[in-house]
Each structure stands twice: as structure tokens, then as C-alpha cells.
Amino acid sequence: MEERYDPQSVEPKWQAVWEQTRAFAVTEDPDKEKYYLLEMFPYPSGRIHIGHVRNYTIGDVVARYKRMCGYNVLHPMGWDAFGMPAENAAIDNNTHPAKWTYENIAAMRKQLKRMGFSYDWNRELATCDPEYYKWEQWLFIRMYEKGMVYRKESYVNWCETCSTVLANEQVEAGSCWRCGRAVQQKKLWGWFFKITDYAEDLLEYCDRLPGWPEKVLTMQKNWIGKSTGAQIAFPIYGTDESLSVFTTRPDTIYGATFMVLAPEHPLVKQLAAGTGQEEPVTEFVERMARESHTDRMTEDREKEGVFLGAWCINPVNNRQIPIYTANFALMEYGTGAVMSVPAHDQRDFEFAGKYGIEIIPVIKPEDISAGETARDQAYTGDGEMVNSGPFDGMHNRQAYEDLIAYFEKHGTGKRAVSYRLRDWGISRQRYWGAPVPMVHCPQCGIVPVDEKDLPVRLPEDIDLLEGGGSQLSAHEDFVNTECPKCKGPARRETDTMDTFVESSWYFERYCSPDYDRGMFDPTAVDYWMPVDQYIGGVEHAVMHLLYSRYFTRVLKDMGLVDFKEPFTRLLTQGMVCKETQHCADHGYLYPEEAEDRDESVYCKKCGNPVEIGRVEKMSKSKKNIIDPNQLVQYYGADTVRLFCLFASPPERDLEWSERGVEGGYRFLNRVWRLARTWMSRLENTRPYDGAPGEVDETARGLYIKTHQTIKRVTEDIEARFHFNTAISGAMELVNAMYGIDSQMAPDEADPQTAGVMRQALETVLLLLAPMVPHVTEEIWEALGHEAGSLANASWPAFREDALAAETKLIVVQVNGKLRGKFEIEAGADDETIKARALEDENAIRFIGDKPIKKVIAVKNKLVNIVV
């Protein structure tokens, strides 16, 4: 053991050992209980950032901990390797996306290895590998055959900068989630997955995922957005046709005074034709089409519409009601038509007010005296029905049910459910993605590629410099093919798939990454899946996690897996944040561009004082980032890992602090120095593992502390992943060992004390091994253990009797306020401790001459005297 702790020599040494011995490679072993720990795989951007480090450190601690507990732990890592940045970088640097991607992967793999994460690198995969996306294409065809995929022309979210389609989930506040540009609507043909078929099941299972954070489940539920109500047909006046609407409030139908169609609704132009309203309607519809989705959806958007010149008939009272088209109606939701009841819907109320449409209240508010009708807003609550013919006097909840029964009886409507969730549009007009494996044949129409011809490989000789959009459609060799059916000339589909498709099944591929007869080896998936613990950022709460749940259901319905939910437990770790530094002349500054002196911070460029901003998520634009590489070079991977774990519990945001990192480094040095000081005394000593009764005074405290710490750290990790308190516990144990150290020199220690010291030291190493694996392995070896054996050591167990055989501190309260305390042997009965408490001088002082009403005793804890 070296005198000085030098992470730069210790860490690479153990990383080499783990690599050579393939320490973390696993295979299915039916005799061992499995544990599948997965962290969300990264996009290979070129270098890992501190968010990755935190995510993967948390995961690594759990993986190593479970491994020490005897589980067969699958802990894989790979690359979410398709996507736009590769194309942009390729254009910028005149390289190829594949080259750029694989170089980035190599660089990041090296960085991850330098962190000492316990991955089974044999299972590494990259989604841009044809051997990977081949099976994605295979599944696409299976889904197509089963009618789970379809093609349609639709308005899509279009990002001009990225020249691609975005899924609804990829639009954030009306802008592209990647580049921030305002999203436009564009009509385009594209491929869709029928995720809406599973809306109900996905929703239902939100209540059957106890291992998931409530927050994520709520977000998913909201995203699916289930509403129940009725679908009702309104005959169109003067025609044989009818207008179908979805409403959640069939009970308010007597108050319907107008109808609204989405501007894109096919009936809009048809109904307006020849009514004299044709011109204003066409003008309105065209203006709406020109407006971006963003503008139309902005908050507080003024409601606006045009009368179509047509009417429909309310089926319950034959009332003739006007039909409008308006900006607030969405074609994608329900039937694209709204039954408007201004008295009981705020939006309809505003519209009616603007256009002078009649407002008929049909529900009397429960909290307002009868007869009152003048209101400045819609009433959306419950109450007694009025103005509703035969339903008058009934409670609206009852009328709701009766009206649905009435519609069903007369065939004018039915109970209905509507979801906010839309089908998943997966077409992207980009090069760097998995090609959709379909062929357009002038004779046979759309034909899937033959399975034997998979994968449909991305052509490598491509010139990306020619403008944006998909270069695939310009690649003649790729596009021109023959029809799998009639063998005539045909054209290939040039859309590639959304990269979320790859990440919807990679966790299954990890189970058998080299399998070449299917997406995965069923026996391997059967053994490893589902993932026991999944860890990643909350930013994936909706998209990635919902798509993965959907995909798993698809695989189940195809008989490929026998479970519905891929992730049993989910942990969403918080973000890494740091204060910003801003110079009046030079803008935001990187940490190394500012200089700390005299308790203030100055800009290195101009020497002026720097303004310290609020603590925010680390981002390049704010320059409040720190480079994991530099930290590792300076402090070592163990210190960086330790700080990430210690600074805050995993689900909470972590505020980066250079001083905090130094604190972590100092602690590891403290452990090192203690081990080094005592090494010659301990290396030939056996750890003391005897009964507590035989431990004499000197070592007794440390002995008990050791066992208490094992219990505490185990519970902190096992029950709640609170590594910060686990580390606190280990620090306390080290402090206790320094207590012995300050009392005696190592060679003065009696055999028993030395044994207890060794036991304490080994405990510290075992408990910290999952968190700081390198330094602990080094000291473990110095103690005479086989090199590299700590990674496979058993998690320590505590002795119950070591915790039990103790005196307890009893707190004395008078009227609930702390007035004194005393020590007594553990388990002393209530009467004994009450008696002792009543003798307490200070307590007596507070009791004074007031009569004692009651004395409450809690065994081993406290006595409260009530006066």
C-alpha cells in the first residue's frame, strides 16, 4: 500500500483487472436469482456529461450492491446511436454520420471505463448497427401484417430546421424539442403505430406499477387523457346526413345552442356551399391552415369562428341550432365536432358571448338560490336539471345516465370514451435512422420487404451536403428496387424511423445481443426480463417510457414475451445544477474563465467582478458546466462518484459544489491514511466476530458502531437508495475508528482491539465498495485478500446481539418538553423508567407542586410526565 492515496495509479489498475477477468460478464444461471439493472443508454454525442456520470454512478452502486448480495446481475451499456446530431455534425465537419457516431462511441466508452462502472461490456450494442435495426425492421413488418402499422396523410408537426416530422410528444410549447424552432403544420404521408389501441391498457396499468414514481405515472395518465361521455348524432337540417359529436356532458344537451366544427373538418366546406357563407368560411379555413399549430394553440387565444350557414337538429328537442367553424376546435380530438353548451362550458360561454348566441342554463347550481340565471361565467358543477323537458327536476348525474340510455334506445348515440393520446407517427424524413422496410410497387401497391432481404441497409455512399431533407430519396441505388411480390420495378420507402423506436426494445436486445435468429433469444429474455430497476432522467417520463410500455405489449400480443410491463421499478434521478457566472462584458463564463479571490469572483478576461446567478440546470448555453474528464484527472473517479452520491438523494436535483468534491476527496484520504497507519498491525490480525459480551471497554463502542453501521447502510441502500445517508453512516464509523486511533498507537493495541479495528475497517471497505470501488479494492488487497475479490465479496451482515446488548438513553419530558435524560439497561420496563424519571432533579423542578395527572412511558425511549 502506497503512503499517499493516488487515484491515478489505483484506479486504472483495478479497471484493468476487471477487464482482464471479465469480472462483470454474466450468463443466465437458473440456480441464481437474477437482477436486471438498467440505466437509460446515452446518445453518443462525443463526451459524457456530468448528468450521465450521476445517472450511471447511481446505477453502478445498485448493480454492485445487488451483486454483493448474491444476485446474478445484468448491467449492460450501449448506444442510442441514430439521430439528427450525427447528420448535422457530418455536414459541419464533412464526415459521415457513421464515422462520427462510431468515433464518439469509442471516446465515450473510454470515459465510462475510466469511471469504473461494472458493465458487462460483452453486451454492448449500438442501434445504428444493421444487426440491430434488422430486427426492428422485422418487427415493423410483423406489425404491418397484423394491422398495427398504417400509413396515412395527415397534418404533422414539422420542424424546418431539422427538416423532419416530430411526434406530438416532441413538441414542447409549440417548438421543436431539439432545436427550439417553432413547429409548423404540414400535410404529409407517414407511417403510424396504433398505440391508441393500447390506450386503455396503458392507462389501467399505471395503477399497477407500484415501483414507479407517482409523478411519472400521473404524467402518463394525463398524456393518455381519457375522457368518458357519449357520442351523439345531430341530424343536419335539410339533409339526410348527421353530425357526430363527442361530449363528456350529455346531461347538458338541452342547453346546446350551437355546434362547432374544426376548420379541417370535411363537412365544413360542404355545408357552407351555396349558403352565401361560402366566402367568409373559405377565407377563415384558409387563414387557419396558414397559421402554425403554435399560434393556434397559444394561451388566451381569442376565440374566433364563422357561421357555416347551416343548421343541425338537436335530437332530444328538435331544436334547430346553427353550425360554426372555430379556431378552438381540434380535428384530432373526438370527432372534430363540438356540441356547444355555453351555459355550462367556459369556452363555449366566451364564444357565445362574442357572437351573440343564446345561452340556456339547464343545470341549477347547488349553491345558488333558485331563479338566479345572470352569471359571468359558465357553471360546470352539478345540480338539478331545468329547461330539459322530461329530465327537469332530476339530478344531472342521474340525467347523464338516463340520457345515454335514451340515445342508445333511439339509436342516436352511445356511451363513448375519448383519449387525448394519438397514434405514434414514426416517419422521419432523415438519412441517419432505420429505414422503413417497405416497397412501393406500381402494380402491387405497398409491399413489405422479404424477411430474407433484411436488413434494409442504409447506403453508406451518401452526400449529405446537398441541402436538408432525406438524402435517401435522392439515392437511386437505394430507391430503385424490385417488388418482392411481382418482381417488377418498384421504389423503396425512404422514410426512416423515429429513434424512439430503437429505444423501445433495446433492453430486450441486451439479454442476447448477438442473437441472429430473432429480435432476442426467448430463453434469455425469459430469464432476465423484466428490468428490475430502471434509472434515468425524468425528461423521458412520457415519450420513451410510454413507447417502451407500448412496444412490450405489442411483443406480448405476438407471443414473443410473456409480460406487459418492461420496467418493474423506476428511479428518475434529478438534474445536476450549478450557479451561473456572468460578466457584463463577456457574457456567461465557464467556471475556468472566472477567478476566485478575496471572497469575490472576477472575470479572467477583463478583471471585472462577475455576477453570480441563480442555481440552474447545467447547460452549454449558460456555461455553468463542469467537465467530468478534468475532475477525474484531478480527483479520480471514486471522488467524483462519491460526491454525486453524497450531495443529495438521487431523485432530487444535485447542486454542484467544488468544495463538496474536495470534501469527498478528503474523506477517501482519511480512509486511506487510517488503513495505512494500522496496516502493519492489522494485516495479520483476524477480524473480531465474536459475541458482544466478550468485548471489553476499549473496543466496545467501535464494535457496536460497526454493527449499527452495517444495519443502517444496508437499510439506506435497500429500502430507498439513499446513498447520501449511507455514506454519512460510513463516515461516522471512520470517525469512530479515528477515536481509537487517537487513544493508542497501532502497535499498542491489544489483540481484541486490533481485531475489532480490522472488523471495522473491513466493514467500511465492504459498505463503500459499491460506491468507491477502486480505493476500497486497493485497501482490501493490502489487508491480504485476493486481488480483485472485493467486487465479488459478500455484503456484510450485522449481529442482532451486538445491537441489542446496550444501555438505552431515556428522555424525560414534562408536558412534552425535554427536561432531562438518563441511561438505563435496555428493555427496562415502564414502571422502572417511570420511577427513575420521577427522580430526575430538573423534572422535579418543573413539576413543582402541580399534581401529576399522567405519566406516559415509551419503552427504551422516553417518559413524559403530564402535570
Partner RNA sequence: GCCUGGGUGGCGGAAUAGGUAGACGCAAGGGACUUAAAAUCCCUUGGGGCAUAGUCCCCGUACGAGUUCGAUUCUCGUCCCAGGCACCA
Q: What are the CA-CA distances from residue 15 to residues 111, 299, 463, 716, 778 (Å)?
A: 12, 54, 41, 27, 11
- 146-172: b or e for each residue (b if 16 or more CB lie within 10 Å)? eebbebeebebbbbeebbbbbbbbbbe
Measured from the CB atom, the residue of 333 and 515 that comes closer to RNA is 333
Q: How far is it, in rounded angstroms, from Cα 166 to Cα 774?
A: 44
3-state secondary structure of 241: coil
Measured from the CB atom, the residue of 217 and 529 that comes closer to RNA is 217
Q: How far is it, in rounded angstroms, from Cα 849 to Cα 852?
A: 9
Q: How far is it, in rounded angstroms, from Cα 261 to Cα 328?
A: 9
Q: How many CB atoms within 10 Å of residue 544?
A: 19
Q: Kindly state whether residue 572 participates in binding RNA, applying the rule CB under 7 A.
A: no
Query: Which 17-46 residues touch RNA, going by CB under 7 A?
Result: none
Retrieve residue 806's grid coordinates. 446496550
Q: How many CB atoms within 10 Å of residue 651?
A: 16
Please state the closest distance from residue 827 (CB atom) to RNA, in A: 15
Q: Kindly state whether residue 839 participates in binding RNA, applying the rule CB under 7 A.
A: no
CA 142, 145, 151: angle at the middle one, nearest 5?
Answer: 105
Q: Kindly state whether residue 170 participates in binding RNA, applying the rule CB under 7 A.
A: no
Q: What are the CA-CA distances from residue 471 to residues 99, 465, 587 (Å)?
A: 17, 9, 39
Retrieve residue 99's grid coordinates. 464515422
User: What DSSP line would sit under 20-75, residue for residue?
Assistant: HTTTT-----TTS-EEEEEEPPPP--SS--HHHHHHHHHHHHHHHHHHHTT-EEE-
Q: Kindly state whether residue 723 participates in binding RNA, applying the rule CB under 7 A.
A: no
Q: How far is it, in rounded angstroms, from Cα 773 to Cα 766?
A: 9
Please state the closest distance from residue 329 (CB atom) to RNA, in A: 4
Query: Which 173-192 residues touch RNA, going by CB under 7 A?
Result: none
Candidate list 660, 701, 746, 788; residue touching RNA; CB under 7 A: 660
Measured from the CB atom, the residue of 442 and 738 that comes closer to RNA is 738
Q: Which stretch binds RNA (CB under 7 A): 50-58, 112-120, 504-512, 647-655?
A: 647-655
Q: Kindly state whether residue 229 participates in binding RNA, applying the rule CB under 7 A.
A: yes
Please state the closest distance from residue 37 (CB atom) to RNA, in A: 22
Among the listed residues 99, 109, 54, the one whose alpha carbon sits nearest the alpha carbon of residue 79: 109
Q: Kindly state whether residue 327 participates in binding RNA, applying the rule CB under 7 A.
A: yes
Candidate list 227, 244, 387, 568; residue touching RNA; CB under 7 A: 227
Measured from the CB atom, the residue of 114 and 293 that comes closer to RNA is 293
Please state the closest distance from residue 765 (CB atom) to RNA, in A: 17
Please state the closest distance from residue 721 (CB atom) to RNA, in A: 11
Q: Kindly state whether residue 727 participates in binding RNA, applying the rule CB under 7 A.
A: yes
Q: Which stretch binds RNA (CB under 7 A): 374-382, 499-507, 726-734, 780-788?
A: 726-734
Query: Which 411-450 residues touch RNA, going by CB under 7 A?
Result: 418, 420
Candidate list 159, 224, 462, 538; residue touching RNA; CB under 7 A: 538
Q: Kindly state whether residue 247 participates in binding RNA, applying the rule CB under 7 A.
A: yes
Residues 6+ apart with CB under 8 A from 321: 234, 256, 257, 258, 259, 311, 312, 313, 314
3-state secondary structure of 598: coil
Retrieve residue 214's grid coordinates. 407517482
Q: Kindly state whether residue 297 participates in binding RNA, applying the rule CB under 7 A.
A: yes
Q: How far is it, in rounded angstroms, from Cα 512 to Cα 339?
A: 54
Mutual angle of helices 697-720 and 751-768, in 10-degree steps: 10
Q: Kindly state whether residue 809 participates in binding RNA, applying the rule CB under 7 A.
A: yes
Residue with the three cell numbers 467537465 = 627
Q: How far is it, in rounded angstroms, from Cα 636 to Cα 284?
A: 65
Query: Which 662-721 residues touch RNA, going by CB under 7 A?
Result: 662-664, 666-667, 669-670, 673
Question: Using only C-alpha atoms, what is the Rg of the chain?
Answer: 34
Q: Which stretch binds RNA (CB under 7 A): 193-201, 376-384, 429-437, 841-849?
A: 841-849
Please state the closest distance from residue 660 (CB atom) to RNA, in A: 6
Retrieve residue 776's grid coordinates. 476500497
Q: Kindly state whether residue 271 participates in binding RNA, applying the rule CB under 7 A.
A: no
Q: Which stretch binds RNA (CB under 7 A): 185-193, 236-244, 307-315, 812-820?
A: 812-820
Measured from the CB atom, the residue of 1 and 297 that comes closer to RNA is 297
Q: Kindly state whether residue 333 participates in binding RNA, applying the rule CB under 7 A.
A: yes
Please state the closest distance from residue 809 (CB atom) to RNA, in A: 4
Q: Kindly state whether residue 851 participates in binding RNA, applying the rule CB under 7 A.
A: no
Please state the closest distance from residue 244 (CB atom) to RNA, in A: 10
Q: Kindly state whether residue 540 participates in binding RNA, applying the rule CB under 7 A.
A: no
Candidate list 467, 693, 816, 851; residue touching RNA; CB under 7 A: 816
Q: Kindly state whether residue 806 participates in binding RNA, applying the rule CB under 7 A.
A: no
Please state the closest distance from residue 673 (CB atom) to RNA, in A: 7
Tell me the residue length of the chain: 867
- 677 CA to centre of own chain: 45
Retrieve residue 18's grid coordinates. 476487471
Measured from the CB atom, the residue of 220 and 496 that comes closer to RNA is 220
Q: Which stretch binds RNA (CB under 7 A): 41-49, 643-651, 796-804, 828-836?
A: 643-651
Q: Kindly state whether residue 299 participates in binding RNA, applying the rule CB under 7 A.
A: yes
Q: Kindly state whether residue 495 participates in binding RNA, applying the rule CB under 7 A.
A: no
Residue 592 DSSP class: G
Measured from the CB atom, the residue of 374 and 719 that comes closer to RNA is 719
Q: Kindly state whether residue 641 participates in binding RNA, applying the rule CB under 7 A.
A: no
Measured from the CB atom, the residue of 206 and 313 that comes closer to RNA is 206
Candidate list 264, 345, 384, 532; residue touching RNA; CB under 7 A: 345
Retrieve residue 328's grid coordinates. 378552438
Q: How far is it, in rounded angstroms, from Cα 342 to Cα 361?
A: 8
Query: Which 346-365 residues touch RNA, going by CB under 7 A?
Result: 347
Measured from the CB atom, the residue of 129 and 291 that comes closer to RNA is 291
Task: With CB under 7 A as the rule, give the number of residues binding RNA.
Answer: 91
Q: Kindly state whether residue 834 participates in binding RNA, applying the rule CB under 7 A.
A: no
Q: Where are the beta strands (DSSP E) in 314-454?
A: 320-326, 337-340, 363-365, 383-385, 413-419, 424-425, 427-428, 438-441, 445-448
Candidate list 815, 826, 831, 835; residue touching RNA; CB under 7 A: 815
Q: Kindly state whether residue 647 participates in binding RNA, applying the rule CB under 7 A.
A: yes
Q: Which stretch binds RNA (CB under 7 A): 110-118, 132-140, 376-384, 732-740?
A: 732-740
Q: Which stretch binds RNA (CB under 7 A): 466-474, 490-498, 640-648, 681-689?
A: 640-648
Query: Which 740-779 residues touch RNA, going by CB under 7 A?
Result: 742
Measured from the CB atom, the residue of 297 and 558 that comes closer to RNA is 297
Measured from the CB atom, the residue of 262 and 583 that comes closer to RNA is 262
Q: Kindly state whether residue 581 participates in binding RNA, applying the rule CB under 7 A.
A: no
Measured from the CB atom, the residue of 77 and 271 that comes closer to RNA is 271
Retrieve residue 71's grid coordinates. 444476485
Measured from the CB atom, the residue of 454 and 654 that comes closer to RNA is 654
Measured from the CB atom, the residue of 452 and 614 that comes closer to RNA is 614
Residues 6+ apart with CB under 8 A from 448: 141, 144, 145, 437, 438, 439, 484
Q: How far is it, in rounded angstroms, from Cα 566 to Cα 571?
A: 14
Q: Kindly state whether residue 728 participates in binding RNA, applying the rule CB under 7 A.
A: yes
Give the per-residue SS3 of 555-591: HHHCCCCCCCCCEEEEEEECCEEEEEEEECCCEECCH
Q: Kindly state whether residue 262 participates in binding RNA, applying the rule CB under 7 A.
A: yes
Measured from the CB atom, the residue of 153 and 214 that comes closer to RNA is 214
